[in-house]
Chains A and B, each alone.
Chain A
């Protein structure tokens, strides 16, 4: 059965490009990426371009985001070619972000990005302590981070974000505060702060299991998170999602699209799409991906068509991660469902427990619920 096209299906999607290479693998990383060495970047980029071309009839994309892996591990001219392709098909995108690895972006790379119309950079800084970077297996130094961000700003980038990780083994409230302050001192517009998660199968997780490192206790982890919210707020950064903070007007629109449950197109190995009411994921293997693209076959490996209930729940869970929360009218427009009716029970229970703030037109997590969001959100994952 062909689903009826709705106005939502014609909504401009976000576009995500996944560059699956890294110079080396970080010890905590659970993403799909492989060391670049010996890999044929040219063939990969051609394959990505081919996949992008398949969507050329999509009239407009809202935002573009090139992530990874490390897009900046590609040779400058290759990345330039990729950006060129995308930008020429969709010149109108409001926001064009490229993820930058501090150790990889020199002036040449940054000026290329500026010239090609990239208007937002996101730097994977993670920490301002050398020992922590070492523990995480990051190849760059804190100086690399400072220098590359300053270069970017000198070249005119006025929408720069930094990713940071807290609750790294050995860290303290004070050491984390230092990281936050260092980030602020760089005059960036956006900060993402993630509590370190031990992804199964990563060397870091293995080290923990073997007792070589000890995870930060829950109480400290919580305190670090609360401090992040307060510290950044007083520096003029509003929290707009569980882990994301920005100066006024600098929230990442691309990512906001995910939390609003808008459609998006993912390009590249392992990339996920939510397109034409279907959730799909590309094959998570570089060689297979390249082969399929070269053979003209589909890179999609998994498909799932969420039903109405799935859509309602996904929208609820994603919306609730934002500080804006669920806009009841917008929710109804997007899902056709009345949020208050569908989730009457969990709404009542969590509101009574002070974990949800409910107003006439909005429902959002209470500040105290942010650190334990999953224990609330799970009740919106099914009905």
Chain B
């Protein structure tokens, strides 16, 4: 196909601004799906996406659209809005020439609007401003257009006002895509180069690579080479997403589709790799992108030690379709064998955990998430640790560094004071403040990741009555005065309950942690002493009182059914517990150490 009539674009936006709904309308208008096939957010096809009503994974789809006497091929990539999945947006953008930046007309520019706009600018794609949800009574398209111009430098009068819900303006938008977005460069004659922008694993066909062809063409039965791994494969199937996988014989320059080539292992495919012809390879690969950065780590242990291998195979299955989380075996003195897992953020962690439980019958106990730290040893060697328990003895350490992020918060002017107070308490340094308009402000902070990754978003939402949004980006590691708080349960140190905090609030934090633990650890048949230690010195202690009586006095014929139910519930309550010596520690206790509320 003549590249002149191809348009490749991503839809990017803040969460819930209507990307997937806009994709639905485009699929309908272009006749890609029939009215009968239509359902809301059709491209969100994972169970968890549909249940939570959010997009987690980017999805591509090919549409055909007649414009001024020609049939255009439009390749659309719908992307997730949540901060954890920014890298999905970067990948999608790298496969496109254009981006539709969607902004909710009733909410205006929000934190991920800005972040995604930056990504689009960095990638060098053409950006079209789209103001969505103009059907809403609270919509203020003109004001939002002003804001877009002011903050993002996209001309207000060039923005498109649409309603993805009613379809208003969507046809005009499709016309404009054909008219205004640049076509792919015509590199039909050059050596084949296709960018792998995503992949997934199919139980029958092996790994399926999602590609964008930048030059040359791919054909069925062609021998291809992955330039990074230098392995070659025979293409057995090529196809496009319409949106279901539909085989084709060839994918030409500028086109988007998939490759099936008997690749067994997902680990053999690096997203960002370049596919070329094995016999006539390109000289240099396409520009790749940074692998996604894992921001939080947490250890997963089987509730019962005998289920370790079951947990391992569960992780292996999950990893087949999510290359962005990692798991490595871990042995905790207190908790036994388990896995240290790395995630893109807390939402990502929650999703993995949910899938793990849903798809497997394993009882798991998970430690509180933590950020990673850089430890500079006395000999100058630098180590990266993903758990406080790995922190070497102080005497071996020269310096301890923690990750810092550039944090952007967009909020209303009334809530500035409250948010600044919170940010200061969390060791965040204000870099600059900009007014989007007289009532909205964007604040940029330099913030320790550990202070903002857990409950910070909820807190600023609370302070701003739901108004504030935030986004962050890792900028590097920096030495700060950190100490480790250790917890002793029944006299025994429990590594999985340790946390690393700033020295200035260590004691206060330690006291809080122990009170939370006291609430979260159930009573046993003996007293359970809890202690907090900083640098080997006990700074606080508490006791979980023993329970002395737990027996139903009467159990006769009429009580059997009811009593069995009660006992089953009691048994359920013992799930997701880990025994440390003779003490049972429930899941919620591990998480309670992050709870900073009073």
- Mark A residues whose CB is within 8 Å of B: 14, 16, 194-195, 197, 218-219, 221-222, 225, 242-243, 255, 258-259, 264, 266, 270-274, 279, 281, 304, 310, 313-314, 317-318, 321, 345, 353, 370-375, 377-382
Contact = CB atoms under 8 A, between A and B. Distances in A.
Given A218-B547, A272-B558, 16 more contacts: A218-B548, A218-B549, A221-B548, A242-B552, A243-B553, A272-B561, A273-B557, A281-B561, A317-B563, A353-B582, A371-B549, A372-B547, A377-B567, A378-B567, A381-B567, A382-B571
A155 B146 CA distance: 101
Given A271-B558, A372-B547, A310 B564 contact: yes
Which of B563, B567, B570 has the largest count of A CB atoms less than 10 A from its CB? B567
B525 A255 contact: no
Contacts of B582: 353
B560 A274 contact: yes
Given A266-B558, A272-B560, A274-B560, A372 B553 contact: no
Residue from B557, B567, B571, B582 having most chain A Cβ neighbours under 10 A: B557
Contact of B548 (A222, A258, A274): A222
Contacts of B567: 317, 374, 377-378, 380-381
Given A16-B557, A375-B570, A381 B564 contact: yes
Given A374-B567, A378-B574, A274 B557 contact: yes
B554 interface: yes
Nearest to A279: B561
A173 to B, nearest CB: 14
B550 interface: yes
B550 A371 contact: yes
Given A221-B548, A374-B552, A304 B568 contact: no
Nearest to A219: B548
Contacts of B551: 195, 242, 370-374
A101 B545 CA distance: 40
Max chain A C-beta neighbours (<10 A), residue from B549, B555, B570, B574: B549
B556 interface: yes
Given A317-B564, A378-B570, A382-B571, A272 B548 contact: no
Interface of B: 304, 525, 547-558, 560-561, 563-564, 567-568, 570-571, 574, 582
B3 to A, nearest CB: 63
Given A317-B567, A353-B582, A377-B567, A372 B557 contact: no
A314 B560 contact: yes
Given A225-B549, A304-B561, A381 B555 contact: no
B574 A318 contact: no
A378 B568 contact: yes
Given A310-B564, A353-B582, A258 B550 contact: no
B574 A197 contact: no
Nearest to A165: B553
A264 B557 contact: yes
A372 B574 contact: no
Contacts of A270: 558
Contacts of A272: 557-558, 560-561
A125 B567 CA distance: 30
Contacts of B574: 378-379
A317 B555 CA distance: 10
A371 B553 CA distance: 10
B564 A197 contact: no
A271 B559 CA distance: 10
Closest 9 CB pairs of A and B: A381-B567, A378-B570, A194-B553, A222-B548, A272-B558, A373-B551, A378-B567, A378-B571, A218-B548
Given A16-B557, A272-B558, A279-B560, A375 B568 contact: no
Given A225-B549, A382-B571, A194 B554 contact: yes
Contacts of B568: 378, 381-382
Contacts of A266: 557-558
Contacts of B563: 317
29 contacts: A14-B557, A16-B557, A242-B553, A243-B553, A243-B554, A258-B555, A258-B556, A258-B557, A270-B558, A272-B560, A272-B561, A274-B557, A274-B560, A304-B561, A318-B560, A370-B551, A371-B548, A371-B551, A372-B548, A372-B551, A373-B552, A374-B567, A375-B550, A377-B567, A378-B571, A381-B564, A381-B567, A382-B568, A382-B571
